[in-house]
């Protein structure tokens, strides 16, 4: 059974249809790419999956539960985490605090227990810290744990966003342009890194990306979105040779068409 199943999903903003009749299936353990020119509606798809937007039509099922239009924090609780295209860290807080915050949703103690620092809360807080430090160590951010998030270099900020998303213990991870602004070497490292975390944390990954090298090397399947409509889907090799995709990316040669 598909982990995530979007069927006939549309998103309209007034008269503008950002995404139209979109279908997508993700199977556990897959890495799937979502590509398309700027303004194609890729981030809108993410926003619908994570509950930021309520789809105008269609159903989104995660693990068999309908999640379309659910409150974002509840969706995260079900096991979907994301990163953002324009980095959205808690800038004034430390790296460790950023990760700790992502653990808050699993906290069972109520606020009175937290204020009074009762045993259950103390236990949970200690476990939370230990888990976060382990995660930071795994992602190579441990030495920066007490630095302000905004003081990190760009690449590490991206990494911290992934760390923060992983701390919510997701089953499905949505990455919105993880390689944006990276040079080829960094992008290559990133592809290795994404595969590693997929295996280590037992994830299914959906990613939006413009770096074609990244997309073609790590994705099992690719969906192509143009003007809100899916024009193609399939394995990287199929997508690369798909005439419609090439036209969408490179434009149509008018002379060739006229001939």
Give yes or no for residue 114 binding other proteins (CB under 8 A).
Answer: yes
Per 3-state DSSP, what percentage of the chain is helix, strand, and coil (rounded to 5)? Answer: 45, 25, 30
State the binding string over 191-220 for other proteins (x if CB under 8 A, else -). Answer: ------------------------------
State the virtual CA torsion across 156, 152, 37, 255 in degrees, nearest 10. -100
Size of the site for other proteins (CB under 8 A): 36
Specify the residue, 99 or 218, whose C-beta has the smaller distance to other proteins: 99
Give yes or no for residue 164 binding other proteins (CB under 8 A).
Answer: yes
Specify the residue, 44 or 109, whose C-beta has the smaller distance to other proteins: 109
Q: Is 178 exposed, middle or buried (0-12, 13-18, 19+ CB in 10 A)?
A: buried
* Chain centre to alpha carbon of residue 193: 14
In terms of DSSP H, where are the helices of 26-87?
42-49, 72-78
Residues 48, 175: Cα–Cα separation, whole Å: 14
Specify the residue, 61 or 129, whose C-beta has the smaller distance to other proteins: 129
Give yes or no for residue 157 binding other proteins (CB under 8 A).
Answer: no
State the binding string over 74-113 for other proteins (x if CB under 8 A, else -). Answer: --xx---xx-x---xxxxxx---x--xxxxxx-x-x-x--
CB of 149 to other proteins, least distance (A): 9
Specify the residue, 116 or 237, whose C-beta has the smaller distance to other proteins: 116
Give yes or no for residue 42 binding other proteins (CB under 8 A).
Answer: no
Spatial contact of 227 and 40, defined as CB atoms under 8 Å apart: yes
Q: Which residues contact 185 (CB under 8 A, 6 or more apart)?
A: none
**Positions in the binding site for other proteins (CB under 8 A):** 50, 52, 71-73, 76-77, 81-82, 84, 88-93, 97, 100-105, 107, 109, 111, 114-117, 121, 124-125, 128, 164, 168
């Amino acid at each position: 059974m598909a982990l995530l199943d979007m069927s006939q999903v549309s998103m309209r903003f007034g008269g503008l249809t950002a995404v139209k009749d979109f279908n997508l299936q993700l199977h556990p353990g897959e890495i799937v790419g979502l590509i398309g020119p700027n303004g194609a509606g890729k981030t809108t798809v993410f926003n619908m999956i994570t509950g930021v937007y309520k789809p105008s039509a269609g159903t989104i099922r995660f693990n068999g539960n309908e999640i379309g239009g659910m409150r974002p924090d509840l969706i995260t609780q079900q096991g979907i985490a994301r990163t953002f295209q324009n980095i959205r860290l808690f800038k004034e807080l430390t790296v460790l605090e950023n990760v700790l915050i992502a653990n808050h949703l699993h906290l069972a103690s109520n606020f009175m227990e937290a204020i009074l620092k009762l045993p259950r809360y103390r236990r949970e807080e200690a476990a939370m810290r230990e888990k976060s430090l382990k995660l930071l160590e795994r992602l190579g951010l441990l030495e920066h744990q007490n630095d302000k998030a905004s003081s990190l270099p760009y690449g590490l900020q991206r990494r911290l966003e992934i760390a923060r998303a992983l701390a919510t213990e997701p089953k499905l991870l949505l990455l919105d342009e993880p390689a944006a602004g990276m040079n080829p070497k960094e992008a290559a490292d990133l592809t290795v890194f994404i595969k590693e975390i997929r295996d280590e944390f037992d994830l299914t990954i959906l990613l939006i990306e413009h770096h074609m090298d990244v997309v073609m090397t790590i994705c099992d399947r690719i969906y192509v979105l143009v003007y809100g409509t899916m024009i193609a889907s399939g394995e990287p090799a199929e997508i690369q040779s798909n005439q419609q995709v090439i036209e969408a990316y490179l434009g149509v040669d008018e002379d060739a068409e006229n001939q």
